[in-house]
Chains A and B, each alone.
Chain A
Amino acid sequence: MTQRITIDPITRLEGHGKIEIFLNAEGDVANTYFQIPELRGFESFCVGRPVEELPLLTNRICGVCPEAHHMAGAKAADAVYHVDPPRTAKNLRELLYSAFYVTDHTTHFYALAGPDFVMGPDAPVAERNILGVIHKVGLEIGGKVIQARKYGHAVIEMIGGRKIHPCTSIPGGLTKGITEDQRKEILEMGKWAVEFAQFSLKLFNDIVLGNKTYVDLILGDIYVHHTYYMGMVDENNHVNFYDGKVRVVGPDGREFVKYEPKDYAQHIAEHVEPWTYLKFPYLKGVGWKGFTDGKDSGVYCATPLSRLNAADGLATPLAQAEYERFYSTLGGKPVHQRLATHWARLIEVLYAAERWVELASDPETSGPNFHTAPTEIPTEGVGIVEAPRGTLTHHYHTDERGVVTKVNLIVGTTNNYAPISMSINKAARSLIKKGTVVTEPMLNMVEMAFRSYDPCFGCATHSLPGQMPLEVTIRNADGEIVEMLKRN
């Protein structure tokens, strides 16, 4: 009898991301489909708008990472006008962005992913949340997480004008600078953020790496895929979130390609399937070979783990030391174990906090030259930043007045659509076998397959990264429910 398991992340209510698992007659997994059910049409309705508005309009793609769209949009608009913003403006944008990274990654680790490790994947559901983490590790942690969020948003508001949907980046720089006092205030907050990042890494070290069960889970086969990895790097091939070239390494860790943002379309293409509203990006130089890994498949991954794999190191000292410890612990580069992404994310928090301090220490950051007026005729431009959830590409064409005529967007999570689909498939095949009773912890293990990617389909649709509560309905071939499992 053919069975179907629908995993419906009800938090995304009725399919803001839905998984269908089909079982074959023997009761093993025949196939899985991860569907994205919405399209809002930004690429269409941004046409006709003045290009300086795109950093504001594309913010509204995602309220979780509007900073990423604001920056990619502003960089694309700079490129459209062939204008290079002054150092103060670049410093300010990257400073805002670094503070944002600390906030965003922190939220993911403590509220969303952390519970699986701190409490355990098979802990009672009622404890497997941020409150459980606080109870286990101590109340002061909750306070620290709130403090990290507050500081991050304070910096975003000081530079970006607003806490959500920042408004100050325009072609050529910003609409305003910051004062010397603000710079010093931001610097102090940055120093606190560095300590907080170190504290978080120590916590990970003690709780996760100190527990053999978790280390076995990370190193085990369920969560492994040998794919290409993408990340932006500076001139030294160090990770950079705001600027640089995009580097891709193969499953063997060797550089496959390194491209300028403007050349992205020579290297990336998007595959279409009729059962979902989201496309599947892949490496053009390898080709789309379906949902499969290995060096002959163009599937690539763009996550914190990918960024570390695609770079030769990190540009700040404390983070670099952690980077080296990461690879020596996990057996060298590249690391293919998807669950190691959580560790990589915390290393990125440390790098972002150190970068925050560096930029806030530069007197130029509070300088008076926050904008360069464009002088050339606008044409076409590409802006790329590393969003927390993957490489974010904005590509605009305009007419000679700077009115948009064409838009293309490849957003963070979208890069990972194929790898996430594959991870779900593999976890389901590994865990759901003929004759097994599907249990809640088992479903959580399937969930963990995609939680490591911190998927944010706000960028493609509108859901937040989060605890995706599952509801699994097992139906027989006639559509009758034979079993229903809920998680609360």
Chain B
Amino acid sequence: MSAKPKFAMYWAASCGGCEIAVLNIHEKILDVDANFEVVFWPVAMDAKYKDVEQMEDKSILLTLFNGGIRNDENEHIAKLLREKSQILVAFGSCACEGCVPGLANLRDSRQIVQTAFNTVSTDNPKQVYPMTSYDVPEGEIHIPKIYPTLRTLDQVVDVDYYMPGCPPESHQIAAVIDLVIQVLQGKAQLPPKGSFIGVGNSTVCDECERRRNVKAIASFVRIQDRASELDPSLCLLEQGIPCNGPATRSGCRARCPSAGAQCIGCYGPAEGVTDYGARLMSAFASVIDSNSPEEINCILDGLVDPAGQFYRFNLAGSLLRAGRSAWAKEKV
């Protein structure tokens, strides 16, 4: 038996991109192998859920948990891995703040199912919907229960560290792995519980190489209306593109703005920001060049989807958590 500390990685309601990001650290993965016994990592190895159940509490040193909590199965595994792990990391945007699937919290979960099973190509005259338990002729079979809202990992269990990003950048993952290995060798100390790891301590704007002139805008523009006319050396927001850089935590090397696309906010709220949307609103307000309420309204009309713009990645983790209908259902 190996005396190496145990490592686990798990996905709940996620897309698999976090796993691919870990695989993209390439040869660094050998360091993980050299320093850890990988006991549970569905994408990379054979391991059994029951094996995890049989482990002693706190016997896994480090668990990277990605994905949000969408159904009872996700919640069950989150609680199980919390019990078994000394250090539980909310890994990636879904676990940290809900990510894009968290936008489902703007809808009632019943509506989500109804929409999916009544699309233009769905043949469903009898209005059949998935049932958590169903009697087929041979016996009863089960599928998990969808919850009214998607929740973040720390809304379900206690979380030790947060590693945001959709997905976390591979160079950040490699740096965190290095740090943990140094801790194991007694050469470094873990940061305080609750810290964000694998991130910068400022905003995407601070990492962005585009120049800012503190120039105000007279209107917001859509990227498809202006893409080939944009100046690649100037701030996108100051050219009217609603870029989320000012409110978003640094750590990605401003990848999207560097490629001519607006920051969509996947690294979540910057250090010290309580409400992402409120911070972004004030950043947008600061570039609007008008004192006339009518004109300001007109400029703001250029933002066609305020809910998505301000809470695209962190609705589930925000103070709002959900739209009214879903939120009410969750509380009941």
Contact = CB atoms under 8 A, between A and B. Distances in A.
User: Bound pair: A and B?
Assistant: yes
Nearest to A48: B305
Interface in B246-285: 255-256, 258-261, 264, 266
Interface in A32-82: 33, 35-45, 47-50, 52-53, 56-57, 59-64, 66, 77, 81
A319 B146 CA distance: 45
Contact of B47 (A49, A370, A469): A469
A339 B23 CA distance: 27
A146 B26 contact: yes
Interface in B17-63: 17-21, 24, 26-27, 42-43, 46-50
A395 B255 CA distance: 28
A276 B222 contact: no
A208 interface: no
A125 B71 contact: no
Contact of A371 (B18, B123, B228, B264): B228
B11 interface: yes
A463 B12 CA distance: 9
Interface stretch (B97-105, B186-194, B204-212, B290-298): B97-105
B73 A33 contact: no
B130 interface: yes
A30 interface: yes
B308 interface: yes
A44 B104 contact: yes
B139 A2 contact: yes
> Which DSSP category, helix, strand, loop or mixed, fits chain B's interface?
mixed
Nearest to B21: A164
Contacts of A39: 112-113, 116, 130, 146
A11 B224 contact: no
Interface stretch (A185-193, A262-270, A330-338, A353-361): A262-270
B14 A63 contact: yes
Interface string A446-488: 0000000000001000111011010100000000000000111
A56 B313 CA distance: 12
A212 interface: no
Given A48-B308, A274-B131, A275-B134, A63 B167 contact: yes
Interface stretch (A172-180, A305-313, A321-329): A172-180
A258 interface: no
Given A161-B259, A274-B131, A10 B119 contact: no
Band of interface residues on A: 35 or more
Given A40-B101, A49-B305, A277-B130, A163 B24 contact: yes
B170 A52 contact: no
A427 interface: no
Interface in B207-240: 222-228, 232
B229 to A, nearest CB: 8
B227 A172 contact: yes
A276 B116 CA distance: 13
Band of interface residues on B: 35 or more
Contacts of A40: 13, 70, 101, 104, 150
A4 interface: yes
A175 B261 contact: yes
B138 A270 contact: no
Interface stretch (A214-222, A223-231, A401-409): A401-409
Contacts of B177: none
A66 B14 CA distance: 13
Given A37-B73, A175-B260, A20 B46 contact: no
Contacts of A163: 21, 24, 170
Contacts of B48: 10, 469, 471, 486, 488
Nearest to B102: A45
A35 B143 contact: yes
A41 B115 contact: yes
Contacts of B116: 39, 41, 43-44, 279
B179 interface: no
B43 A466 contact: yes
A410 interface: yes
A406 B50 CA distance: 42
Nearest to B144: A37
Interface of A: 2, 4, 8, 10-15, 20, 22, 30-31, 33, 35-45, 47-50, 52-53, 56-57, 59-64, 66, 77, 81, 125, 146, 150, 153, 160-165, 167-168, 170-176, 264-265, 268-277, 279, 281, 288, 369-371, 373-374, 395, 401-403, 406, 408, 410, 458, 462-464, 466-467, 469, 471, 486-488
27 contacts: A2-B138, A11-B42, A11-B43, A13-B11, A14-B73, A20-B139, A31-B136, A40-B150, A44-B115, A47-B115, A52-B223, A57-B103, A59-B15, A62-B15, A63-B15, A64-B15, A160-B259, A161-B255, A165-B266, A167-B264, A170-B224, A272-B122, A462-B15, A462-B67, A486-B48, A488-B46, A488-B47
Given A36-B143, A48-B305, A402-B222, 18 more contacts: A13-B73, A31-B137, A33-B141, A39-B116, A41-B104, A44-B112, A45-B101, A45-B106, A63-B18, A164-B167, A165-B166, A168-B260, A170-B227, A173-B227, A274-B128, A395-B120, A462-B14, A463-B42
